[in-house]
Amino acid sequence: MREIIFDTETTGFDPQTGDRLVEIGCIEMVNRVPTGATYHCYFNPQRSMPASAEAIHGLSERFLADKPLFVDKVEELLEFLGDSMLVAHNARFDFGFLNHELGRCGRTAISLDRMIDTMTLARTAHPGAKHTLDALCSRYGIDRSHRVKHGALLDAELLAQVYIELTGGRQIGLGLADLPATGPVVAVEAAALVATAPRIRREPRHFAVPPEELERHRAFIRTLTNPLWGVETPVAETA
């Protein structure tokens, strides 16, 4: 199963009021395992960059001035996305900007049926906890020390690790699914461990019963009515 984990950076919060997409980063995963294939691009938004947005991602108007327009890269972006499911954190935000840019190019919007929102997954898995990307990285022990500012490709890489944890953890992709059956495999491995384990010979332990204890036992038996084992049945002194 192929999935694309992606993140975007923008000039603001609402494409309907003129905000634009300025960066996208995508990570390809197959069967929950990153393949190493990525797509990353900056875009010239053809508008100014608000200081509040620049403070978050560090992308200035000057830096983006010589970057391609979204329309110039839309073909290669769509080719990379293919028809795969698309995973994002607070995905409606990213889908909103991506589909707005596609609409400006006269392209068909990507169906929300292809959307997987890790924030929704996190709220289900950890109700009442913080669900930011930083908080989830802390929860799962994912190193984010190199994340000084937001960056689409870096955040997509972190999100890929978070997504793996949210959908079953790192055991996914170990290849166990290729085995015909788990039970027999475990049994064979256990048998192999037993067969190869070193055998330690221990001397038998003797438990001597003192004569006075034997006599007290016989005396107790004589107090019973019709004991099944008989009064004079000898008691073993060793075991």
pLDDT digits (tens, 9 = 90+) for 1-33: 999 999 999 999 999 999 999 999 999 999 999
Dist CA 170 CA 176 (whole Å): 12
Question: 121: number of CA atoms within 13 Å, CB side?
Answer: 18
User: Structure pTM?
Assistant: 0.70
Find out whether 44 and 65 touch, Cβ atoms under 8 Å: yes
Per-residue confidence at 191, pLDDT binned at 50, 70, 90? very low
Residue 215 three-state SS = helix
Residue 71 has which token pair?
């329309």
Tell me, what's the pLDDT at 5?
Answer: 98
User: What is the mean pLDDT of the segment spanning 116-139?
Assistant: 95
At position 160, the amino acid (one-letter code) is: A
- Residue of 126, 146, 150, 206 with catalytic role: 150
- Is pLDDT of 186 > 70? no
- Residue ranges per domain, the chain? 2-178, 207-239
Tell me, what's the pLDDT at 175?
Answer: 44
User: What is the mean pLDDT of the segment spanning 151-170?
Assistant: 91
Find out whether 147 and 157 touch, Cβ atoms under 8 Å: no
User: What is the mean pLDDT of the segment spanning 199-204?
Assistant: 64
- Is pLDDT of 194 > 80? no
Binding-site sequence positions for substrate? 7, 9, 57, 155
> In this predicted model, which residue has the larger pLDDT, 46 or 223?
46
Dist CA 150 CA 158 (whole Å): 11
> In this predicted model, which residue has the larger pLDDT, 177 or 204?
204
In which residue are the tokens 């908080």 written?
135
Find out whether 29 and 10 touch, Cβ atoms under 8 Å: no
Query: What is the total residue count of the chain?
Result: 239
Residue 182 three-state SS = helix
- For the purposes of burial, counting CB atoms within 10 Å of the CB of 155, is it exposed (0-12), middle (13-18) or buried (19 or more)? buried
> In this predicted model, which residue has the larger pLDDT, 31 or 220?
31
Q: Which helix (H) or strand (E) holds 81?
A: helix 70-81
Q: Phi/psi zone of residue 112: left (φ > 0), alpha (ψ -120 to 50 degrees), beta?
A: alpha
Dist CA 160 CA 154 (whole Å): 10
Q: What is the CA radius of gyration of the chain?
A: 34
208-218 pLDDT tens trace: 778 888 888 88
Residue 128 three-state SS = coil
Residue 216 has which token pair?
């007290």
Dist CA 105 CA 43 (whole Å): 14
In CATH terms, the fold of domain 2-178 is Nucleotidyltransferase; domain 5 (3.30.420)
Per-residue confidence at 177, pLDDT binned at 50, 70, 90? very low
Asked about 131 being catalytic, the answer comes back as no
Query: Which percentage of the chain shows pLDDT scores above 70?
Result: 79
> In this predicted model, which residue has the larger pLDDT, 184 or 46?
46
At position 169, the amino acid (one-letter code) is: G
- Is pLDDT of 178 > 70? no
77-120 pLDDT tens trace: 999 999 999 999 999 999 999 999 999 999 999 999 999 999 99
- Is pLDDT of 185 > 50? no
Binding-site sequence positions? 7, 9, 57, 155
- Is pLDDT of 147 > 90? no
Tell me, what's the pLDDT at 212?
Answer: 84
- Is pLDDT of 187 > 50? no
